[in-house]
């Protein structure tokens, strides 16, 4: 397939270059045969450079919002997922476990475990229950358990493209899911309530309704917690940036507090975690965009355009040289 695409692209490039050479170069005798038109070649190179930038830039710029949380923005009891990852490295967790299929296969995939447990306290309790046993022969301190819990929350919230496969699990979203802290409420009332309302329903037109659980589910699926933290710290549209007033941990705590508003109006709201078979997961990850038909069309057109320009310049230079 690759050879056919390359040969066809080069054949068409030669054809285009020859036609352009015959029509343009042969009809315009603006330079003597012994002269090399450096100015024309310079212009041609500029045109080629511009064409290259125009074609490559849209393919190389990632305009999508972040799809995964950042390890230093996921917290549990003040510890970040990045700190938990270092603990996992120290104890060589991947020597037995896998993470999205990477690692050893002696123990369950940790993303699967985190999503099955789901709630932070349940994850913490699971780690504590297994610590020091034959299955997890490490005497972990409370600090290490908290750090690993933060790391497991990070793994739970990763966008893994429906991997690993797991049966559907119903998760109840309630005010107990995210702890309401006095600091988070104080910060929310100080920086957010003027526009978003003291109850999260929205005061200024265009602000989201934090009491709508569907809005939360949509945004969390699109950008995750780290994406929402970025909005709070960096600002977006009419919303100002708060990076000079809040730390990432404080921004996350405010968001978790605001998420609690959805439980006020929709008490016991539920979401389904998992619910995809091995066949569905495999098919979802079978083809990447750069291997898709659309991508190969882009590659083929790019090869034709650039090769045509290069061959034309060579013909033009050779005829004038």
pLDDT of 180 > 60? The answer is no
Domain-embedded: residue 292: no
Say yes or no: 148 and 175 in one domain.
no
Domain annotation covers residue 77: yes
179 lies in the same domain as 267: yes
Whether 18 is in a domain gets the answer yes
pLDDT band at 320 (very low <50, low <70, confident <90, very high): low
Domain end (from 123, 158, 193): 158
What DSSP state is assigned to residue 73? G
The structural domain count of the chain equals: 3
Tens-place pLDDT, residues 195-244: 888 888 887 778 888 888 888 878 877 788 888 988 999 988 878 899 88
Task: Return the closest-CA partner of residue 210 out of 188, 226, 227, 230.
Answer: 188
User: Residues 6-26: what's their mean pLDDT?
Assistant: 73
Q: Which residues, 6 or more positions from 76, have their beta carbon under 8 angstroms from its beta carbon? A: 84, 120, 124, 146, 147, 149, 150, 153
Residues 6+ apart with CB under 8 A from 66: 223, 224, 226, 227, 230
Same domain, 108 and 56: no
Same domain, 208 and 191: yes
> What length is written for the chain?
321
Coil/strand/helix, residue 211 = coil
- Phi/psi region, residue 132 (left: phi>0; alpha: psi -120 to 50; beta: rest), is left
More confident residue, 275 or 127: 127
Query: Whole-prediction pTM value?
Result: 0.51
> Does a structural domain hold residue 280?
no
Does 248 map to a domain? yes
Residues near 36 by Cβ (< 8 Å), separated by ≥ 6? 317, 320, 321
Percent of the chain with pLDDT over 90: 15
CA distance 164 to 185: 36
Q: What percent of the chain has pLDDT over 70?
A: 72
Residue 226's domain is classified under what CATH number?
1.10.760.10
Predicted confidence (pLDDT) per residue in 55-84, tens digit: 666 655 554 445 677 888 788 888 889 999
- Please, which pLDDT band fits residue 175 given cuts at 50, 70 and 90? very low
Measured CA to CA, the distance from residue 249 to residue 257 in angstroms comes to 12
Q: Judge if 246 and 205 occupy the same domain.
A: yes
Mean pLDDT score, 105-131: 88
Coil, strand, or helix at residue 265? helix
279 located within any domain = no
Q: Does residue 284 lie in a domain region?
A: no
Question: At which of 158, 185, 205 does a domain end?
Answer: 158
In terms of residue numbers, what domain contains 122? 71-158
Whether the per-residue pLDDT at 156 is higher than 70: the answer is: yes
**Is 6 domain-assigned?**
yes
């Amino acid at each position: 397939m690759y050879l056919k695409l390359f040969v066809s692209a080069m054949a068409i490039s030669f054809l285009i270059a020859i036609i352009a050479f015959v029509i343009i170069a042969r009809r315009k005798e603006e330079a003597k045969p012994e002269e090399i038109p450096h100015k024309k070649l310079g212009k041609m190179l500029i045109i080629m450079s511009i064409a290259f930038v125009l074609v490559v830039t849209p393919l190389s710029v990632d305009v999508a919002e972040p799809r995964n949380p950042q390890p230093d923005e996921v917290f549990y009891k003040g510890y970040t997922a990045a700190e938990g990852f270092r603990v996992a490295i120290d104890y060589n967790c991947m020597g037995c476990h896998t993470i999205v299929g990477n690692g050893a296969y002696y123990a369950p995939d940790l993303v699967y475990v985190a999503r099955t447990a789901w709630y932070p306290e349940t994850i913490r309790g699971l780690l504590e229950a297994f610590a020091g046993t034959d299955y997890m022969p490490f005497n972990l301190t409370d600090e290490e358990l908290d750090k690993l819990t933060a790391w497991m929350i990070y793994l739970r919230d990763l966008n893994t493209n429906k991997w690993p496969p797991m049966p559907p699990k119903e998760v109840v979203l309630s005010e107990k899911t995210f702890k309401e802290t006095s600091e988070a409420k104080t910060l929310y009332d100080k920086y957010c309530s003027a526009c978003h309302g003291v109850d999260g329903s929205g005061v200024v037109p265009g602000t989201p309704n934090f009491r709508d659980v569907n809005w939360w589910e949509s945004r969390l699926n699109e950008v995750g917690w780290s994406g929402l933290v970025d909005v709070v710290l960096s600002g977006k549209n009419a919303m100002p940036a708060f990076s000079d007033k809040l730390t990432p941990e404080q921004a996350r705590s405010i968001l978790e507090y605001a998420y609690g508003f959805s439980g006020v109006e929709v008490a016991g709201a539920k979401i389904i975690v998992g619910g995809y078979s091995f066949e569905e997961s495999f098919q979802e990850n079978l083809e990447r965009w750069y291997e898709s038909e659309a991508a190969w069309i882009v590659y083929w057109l790019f090869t034709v355009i650039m090769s045509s320009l290069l061959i034309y310049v060579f013909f033009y230079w050779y005829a004038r040289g």
